[in-house]
Chain A
Amino acid sequence: MHIARELFIRILAGAAVLWAAASLAFAVLQLFPSDPVQVIYGADSSVTPELRAAIRADFGLDQPVLVQYQRFVTRIAQGDLGISYQQRRTVASIIGSEIGSTLTLASLAVLAAVAMAFLASLLTAGRPGLLRRALSSFELLSVSTPVLWVGILLLTFFSFQWQLFPVVADAGWRSLVLPVATLSIAVFGSLSQVMREEMDRALEQPFILTARTRGLSEWAIRWKHALGHALIPAITISTETFGGLLAGSIVTEQVFGRPGLGRITLEAITNHDIPVVMGIVLFVAFVFVALNILADLLYRLVDPRLRVSSR
């Protein structure tokens, strides 16, 4: 029962953050008003005042600010993110048609990065040496190299010079290899740094000494006892690197010409299609809040100590 109650409180708090985010977005839009007529017709001066008024009324822009705000919050709460100025489709359907591509890229990249970071921690935690120094240099490079440049390098050499992978984005799994590699290299660095640090700390704990005296092999100790401890910061950092992952996806999609969240965001920014920009911003905030709640649940799964203390 306790877990259900805590979850309920967390969801309520998450909803409050989202409401505040939506209100903030609304306030910002009042400060920087955008004109749908301008976006749809450009500088075309033949738009009659009647047509202009009709279009503005269509988007509810003729209403007083308070009414607009009330409608805005009501429809956001119902999952309605509004209608694009440019495409005359709902923002939700625009996001829905592109999100699959981003999700595939991002989840594969996270899986690859977590697997690499696990391996790196297993091999090098608590062991000073050449391999560890090489890996930490690679981690430094990974967090300091522009994602777009990693993508361009991979594209230049693996696609153009050696022609190992296709340049086009729609050639099955082979066209996913380089984008996933690009994004996972970017995520790997920060993940691996934190995980190894945590495993270093775990290996100094008394229970490891106990396991050693029981005659467990070095690998068994690392695999069974220390790895679990590395999982906890991995969950934290995964939610924290969500921002990096999202930014990385946008850039990676652009480098490899893939469809996805990046493409629609850039299109919307270039066309001043503000409802789409705001819709995506709110959608991203929603995903972030949801991930944080999920991470809280995962902590309990991974760390038995939390389950005990919550009773």
Chain B
Amino acid sequence: MNPSSSELIDPAAKSPARPLSAWRRIPIGVVLATFVVAFLVLCALFPTLIAPKDPYQLSLLHSLRAPSPEFPFGTDQLGRDIFSRVVHGASYSLSIGIGATLIAVTVGLLVGLIAGSAGGAVDLAFMRIIDVLLAFPALFMSMAVVALIGKGSMNVLLAIAIAEIPRYARIVRSQVLVVRQSGYVEAALILGQRRSVTLIKHVLPNTIGPLIVLSTLGIGSAILSSAALSYLGLGPKPPTPEWGLMLAEGQGYLRKAWWIGVFPGIFATLTVVSTTILGRYLKALSDGRA
């Protein structure tokens, strides 16, 4: 709902106390999650600002150092600064998470819109294909896609996106069916508006809202998939400072250096927890529960 129309209907919306109390009602977890996401975006955009050390700089003299003021997260088996590598790693996880979700949502939106608004045989065909695709677990399908198109960051991004498309397409399609039944679409059609115009002016905007909320949650699971695929050796090649890859590379040294296995995981978990909290809050807001 847009704010001006709500003010017309509900005079209380104009009272000055409302924005303040609305601000106060934001749960502390959501505020913290927002800060974490902001920090991670900062890490991804300007890593050297936060961690000036070179994440690729080898130094066998300093290998496997415990966390200290000089190396806050310690150093890995090759003497590289883990803090610096973890901070630089944010850009890989965030770009794969956001990029894969964007592609999946866009294609899913298109497929869902076509299936939902065309109806009939087209709808049936699309939905059966989607049912079949949903019979493959997401990470598993990503692995199969990587097997076909090859390893690497870009391919992992594509593989995750492809695996997520059927889920979004199904949601969009059911949303389109709901919107098509609604009074305003019927009214627009009766008023003589063309179907294609109705689709773009009414159906699309009312479908996109819930989709944006869901995709916030999807970013988290895409990041989890990318960490898993990289850990399994299907993602970027060493010495890329990707979190899953760092965990895989450091696994042989856990006996001597626990910090190698701890800090990349903390960053990955913080990222997913924060996006999940924000996604759930957005979902609650859009459902009118918060």
Contacts and interface: CB of A to CB of B under 8 A. Distances in A.
Contacts of B147: 268-269, 272, 274, 277
B137 A160 contact: no
Given A144-B276, A146-B228, A265 B254 contact: no
A270 B151 CA distance: 9
B135 A160 contact: no
A60 interface: no
Contacts of B231: 146, 148, 251, 254
B255 A160 contact: yes
A141 B269 contact: yes
A144 B269 contact: yes
Contact of A146 (B138, B255, B262, B268): B268
Contacts of B269: 141, 144-146, 149
Contacts of B144: 277-278, 281
Interface in B227-263: 227-228, 231-234, 244, 247, 251, 254-255, 258, 261-262
Give the size category of A's interface with B.
Answer: 35 or more
Given A152-B254, A153-B261, A269-B143, A140 B137 contact: no
A78 interface: no
A149 B268 contact: yes
A247 B244 contact: no
A152 B140 contact: no
A246 B141 CA distance: 11
Contact of A269 (B132, B137, B146, B228): B146
B248 to A, nearest CB: 8
A160 B252 CA distance: 11
A160 B258 contact: yes
Contacts of B262: 153, 156
Contacts of A278: 144
A55 B147 CA distance: 22
A266 B55 CA distance: 28
Contact of A140 (B131, B234, B273): B273
B227 A144 contact: no
Contacts of A266: 232-233
A281 B140 contact: yes
Interface string A213-257: 000000000000000000000000000001110110011001100
Interface string B113-142: 000000000000000110111011111110
B135 A156 contact: no
A281 B137 CA distance: 9
B190 interface: no
Tell which of A244, A251, A268 has the most Cβ of chain B within 10 Å.
A251
A251 B138 contact: no
Interface string A45-75: 0000000000000000000000000000000
Question: What 4 A-B pairs are tightest by C-beta distance, nearest first?
Answer: A243-B137, A149-B265, A247-B139, A144-B272
Interface of A: 17-18, 20-21, 24, 28, 32, 140-141, 143-149, 152-153, 155-157, 160-161, 242-244, 246-247, 250-251, 254-255, 265-266, 268-270, 272, 274, 277-278, 281, 284-285, 288-289
